[in-house]
Structure 1
């Protein structure tokens, strides 16, 4: 007999799907094994979906609706939890979806300004410098990046906290004009009611952050997925142990960061001294 694992539907969109699937299965008086036979999937696949460890296919949801006698209930929930991916590289699609539905986003940026608060010129330069990228791809990815930023214009915009290493303010991405505009944009973003920008100074060891950039998505206070940047492409992770380690690392980095009012002063000083 499969051990029942409690799932909190408020923890994440994926947990909500897992909870609702199990609820409908139990209402239909089916075991995991019986449901698996009826939809043509393995019992372990059903069990992993119900414990939020596996993302099912849309066909899985459609077949469950048929078995449960529901009029597209599970399929519609699937579309809410896993909407069609935005036009971004395949390795980034899952994160791009979570970025749009999270209630809070936390970014650690040791090398570049986070994409969520990049200007068009800065983002274009970053994307154009990727090895082997074609001009058409640059424009496609740029358009997708700018669309991602629209989340900050929503009434229910997520709370965003960006920790940016001081070195990022000095890195000449695109030259003085691009950097002047980009740092000006960061200053403007500090006036957004849901955005906090904090600079981590050179003097801070912040050793836990030296391994690379990452971002954390939260749903109502619960960190549930992270985006870890690495070469040649990053990865999106939902492993709870890794999430806990990265959250602890983020808190350690933030403890070394300047508060926002001092960060604003530092950005303004760099603009005056280096990019004017």
Structure 2
């Protein structure tokens, strides 16, 4: 790991340590002094720029009163903080699995999300998200509302003062899959049209021309932060995958280029979505 290119693990560890320090009402200088370090060193650790030693992290955890499973988890993260690529299999809860993604989205300058099946999470309406979870049958009913709220909280990143740029690329079939029924789909498409008025949001649709395209292997997100390597995010039912290897990143960037060659531009995508919304509205009204 170089000082300009932190790993996902080092950023996660830094976020956790900063949250713990703030919860203990300690300044950077005060906390650093207690482990015989400088404030600048602790700042680099908290931003993920420097990989900390297990001894430094151990000292901080004692200072912050952290023990038990949480202590073991953070010390393991410290020992692996220079490793690139992270298959998160030890986060059983949905909110825990989303934590690293939310953090990376908050730091990103640009986000590119390709989706072949459903609307990208950052652009889903609440009722659409709820319908996905309910119709799929894989989310227990008591967990649906909490998961929906967790996902909707991610939307705030697009409306903050200095938001990342979002490019959402979707297969046309996403817009024709009536998740939640025609009314829910129509309102979802109308929300996408509204999102297109935001200066930091671009939506491009890959038309259904009957041919396979480069995105047939599934959804993924590319997160970029100025001066750092991109991170690829992919999700399964039970785990999250963060790819940082240069060759893997190049493969996904190639896929994005080929998808972009096939996709309609934003103007064409807006026209397609508006037409679909009108058709759904007409079907609802029976005209």
TM over 0.5: yes
Structure 1 residue 251 corresponds to structure 2 residue 257: yes
- Decide whether the 8 Å contact of 1:216 with 1:226 is kept in 2: yes
User: Structure 1 residues 223 and 111, CA, compared in 2 at 3 Å: closer, same or farther?
Assistant: farther
What SS is found at the alignment partner of 2:214?
helix
- Which of residues 195, 203, 215 in structure 1 aligns to 2:201? 195
- Decide whether the 8 Å contact of 1:206 with 1:256 is kept in 2: no
Task: Tell me the equivalent position of 2:149.
Answer: 143
- Decide whether the 8 Å contact of 2:12 with 2:48 is kept in 1: no
Task: Tell me the equivalent position of 1:69.
Answer: 36
Alpha-carbon distance in 2 for matches of 1:114, 1:186: 10
Task: Tell me the equivalent position of 1:219.
Answer: 225
Task: Tell me the equivalent position of 1:116.
Answer: 122
What SS is found at the alignment partner of 2:230?
strand
Q: How many residues align?
A: 230
Give the C-alpha shift of residue 216 in structure 1.
0.4
Give the C-alpha shift of residue 197 in structure 1.
0.4
What SS is found at the alignment partner of 2:142?
helix
Name which structure has the greater RCO, CA cutoff 8 Å, separation 6+: 2
- Decide whether the 8 Å contact of 1:212 with 1:230 is kept in 2: no
User: Structure 1 residues 230 and 265, CA, compared in 2 at 3 Å: closer, same or farther?
Assistant: same
Task: Tell me the equivalent position of 1:28.
Answer: none
Task: Tell me the equivalent position of 1:38.
Answer: none
- Which of residues 268, 272, 276 in structure 1 aligns to 2:278? 272
Give the C-alpha shift of residue 133 in structure 1.
2.4
- Which of residues 235, 252, 257 in structure 1 aligns to 2:241? 235
Alpha-carbon distance in 2 for matches of 1:130, 1:221: 39
Structure 1 residue 156 corresponds to structure 2 residue 123: no
User: Structure 1 residues 53 and 184, CA, compared in 2 at 3 Å: closer, same or farther?
Assistant: closer
Q: Deviations over 1:71-127 (max 9, x none)?
A: 555445444449x99x84433332221111111000101110000000111011112
Alpha-carbon distance in 1 for matches of 2:264, 2:39: 50
Give 5+ residue unaligned stretches, structure 1: 18-48
- Decide whether the 8 Å contact of 1:110 with 1:165 is kept in 2: yes
- Which of residues 213, 224, 246 in structure 2 aligns to 1:207? 213
- Decide whether the 8 Å contact of 2:95 with 2:150 is kept in 1: no
Give the C-alpha shift of residue 141 in structure 1.
1.2
Alpha-carbon distance in 2 for matches of 1:103, 1:210: 27
User: Structure 1 residues 172 and 54, CA, compared in 2 at 3 Å: closer, same or farther?
Assistant: closer
- Decide whether the 8 Å contact of 1:196 with 1:260 is kept in 2: yes
TM-score by length of 1: 0.72
What SS is found at the alignment partner of 1:98?
helix
